[in-house]
Structures are given as C-alpha cells and as structure tokens.
Amino acid sequence: MHNEKEFEGFKSPMRLYKSMSLSAILLISTVLLALAAYGLWAPDLSLGELQKRYDSTSSNVVNVDGMRIHYKDTGPQDAPVLLLLHGFGSSLQTWDVWAGSLAQKYRVIRLDLPGFGLTGPSPSNDYSELSDVNTLTQFVDKLGVSDLSVIGHSMGGKIAWTFAAAHPDRVKALVLMAPDGFPQPEAIGTKPYAMPAIMGLMKYCLPSYFVRKSIEPAFADASALDDKMVSRYHDMLRAPGVRAAILERGHQTIYTDPVPRLKKIKAPTLLLWGEEDKMIPSSNATSYAGVLAQSKTVFIPKLGHLLHEEQADIGLAQLVEFLDARLLNAK
C-alpha cells in the first residue's frame, strides 16, 4: 500500500502549478491594467463601426466555406476581370487609387483576404497556401468569373502566382508587385512571418505610433505616409479577430521551393518593383524572371515596397501599359 508521504511529491507540484497559474493571471491582469492606464489598451473595433467608416455602395459580401468574404466589384461587368490581392497586414483599401482608375475600362474585383480587413478570421483557422488558393477559387467561381488577370502585392503577390500556377488556363495576365515567396535555398522550411512571443501583446496593445513605425520602412520617402493612411491601417488591424489571425498566419506560413509551381504559369507576367524596396529587395526579380516563361521586369526609381500607395500614378502607368497591350489591344 502507498502511504501519505509517497504522494507528497505530487501535492507540491500541483500546489506550485496552481500558484503559477494564479501568478500568471495576476501578471496578465496587471499588464492589461497598466496598458489601459497609459492609453495603450486597444481592443478590437466593432464590425459595425468599421463598416460605417469604410463600407461603400460598391462593398459586397459573399460566403465561402462559412467565411464572410468582404469585397468590392467595380467597373463594366462585361470587361476583362482584374483580381487585386493586398499584402500582409493590409486590406482592399490599399488599392483605392489604382482601382478607381482601372475600373474605367476593366472589371475590378478586390477583397480582404482571409484573416484581414472586414473579412476577418477564417473559421477553420487555416491560412496555408492551399487554403488561400481554394478560397480564391471558390470566391471567383461564386462571382461567375472564369477567365481573369491577377495583380498581387507582397504576400498577395505570392498568393497571386500560386493561384496562377494552380489555374494556368484561367489566368490571362499576371502582375507581381514585389512578390514574396522566392526564398534563398537556405531559407526553405523557415517561417518568414513568424513573430517573437512578445508580439502577442499586439492583440491588446496597438498604439498608432507603433503602426506608423511599422509601415515607414515600406516607403522610400516616409513623408509620403500621411495620418489618414496610418489611421486606416490602424483601424483594419483592429478589425474583429484580425490581430490574432495575423499571428496565426505568421505561425503557419512556411517557405517552400517555388520553382516547380512557377514553371506551371503560362500567363505573361509583369514584375513591378520599387528600386528602394527595403522589405523584399528588387534583386529578387532576377530569380522570378529566370523561371517564369514570359516575364517583363520594371524597376521604379525612388519608390519603396508600397509603391502603389507611395506614388500611385507612376506604377499605375506601367501597369496599364502592360494590361492594355495584352487584354485590350491584343490581336
């Protein structure tokens, strides 16, 4: 039989565990109270409030696998379709200037990707490449779109070329703006968006100053980043569940070898890069151009990673020239 002393070793760890749990709760509570006291506490904004600020008559919602996809669909409905995909931490509003111009002669569809903006978190909590492509495929199918051209920036560029590789006969033209997803060989298997554990505080504490400092490196000239833009990024990061979804996507994303998939792409491709991109260096364009069957590379001087927001007109002119020649003026 066991005597009481034999169980003392179990009693002590259990008491320690309970004590640690209580201490952790008290610590978290203290931190949150301190954040609130210093005005750093930043809870999620309500979907209703964000809709008041950013919804418009062109805003729509479609259900894809239980996920409420927020999108805008503008321009002539019988015109060639352009699908615009934003980057990491962004939203469909990043395309406001370009979409307004392109919609004069194209049908322009832009969406908040899963885990971002007014779409919010995926119910499945799956942010893998396969899930992104499946979601986009169902999305365009529900809109009755068969053939389309895809424009993607940064993370959205990676999703764009992954989609084009999965559907080579549907994608008629491809525009990759500083696309992610072509790692150095030694980086294959790593997590490019992984964040240190302390970034978990972002779910509770998100000063606008921090948002500004996070975006500034994406500009060659930080003075082009105005308060309205910072407020929009700040608001969209505080959409319900978005910060937790961003952290989860960062945890799930793993670099893989892009070459086999890039070789499947048939569409003529424009590689568009700001020469002063500090986030994804313009030298990566050479790697893409060496694999893609049909590609044209354009470097834009004195612009950074967010070239379509820093000086929208410059990149837009290159984009329109490329698209018109292949979608409107092709014999």
Full pLDDT tens readout for the chain, 331 residues: 444 333 333 333 333 333 344 444 444 444 444 444 445 678 899 999 999 998 877 789 999 999 999 999 999 999 999 999 999 999 999 999 999 999 999 999 999 999 999 999 999 999 999 999 999 999 999 999 999 999 999 999 999 999 999 999 999 999 999 999 998 888 888 887 776 666 677 888 888 888 999 999 999 999 999 999 999 999 999 999 999 999 999 889 888 999 999 999 999 999 999 999 999 989 999 999 999 999 999 999 999 999 999 999 999 999 999 999 999 987 5
Query: How far is residue 90's CA from residue 253's CA, in Å, rounded to a whole number?
Result: 17
What's the predicted TM-score (pTM) here? 0.87
Residue 248 contacts by C-beta under 8 Å, 6 or more apart in sequence?
115, 121, 125, 127
Query: Alpha carbon of 39 to those of 148, 201, 240: distances in Å?
Result: 46, 14, 20
- Domain coordinates in residue numbering, the chain: 4-37, 47-328
What's the token pair of residue 331?
A: 């014999």
CA dihedral 200, 248, 118, 40 (to 10 degrees): 0
Query: How far is residue 17's CA from residue 11's CA, in Å, rounded to a whole number?
Result: 10
Sign of CA dihedral 31, 35, 37, 41: negative
Spatial contact of 88 and 154, defined as CB atoms under 8 Å apart? yes
47-328, CATH topology level: Rossmann fold (3.40.50)
272: enclosing H helix or E strand = strand 269-274
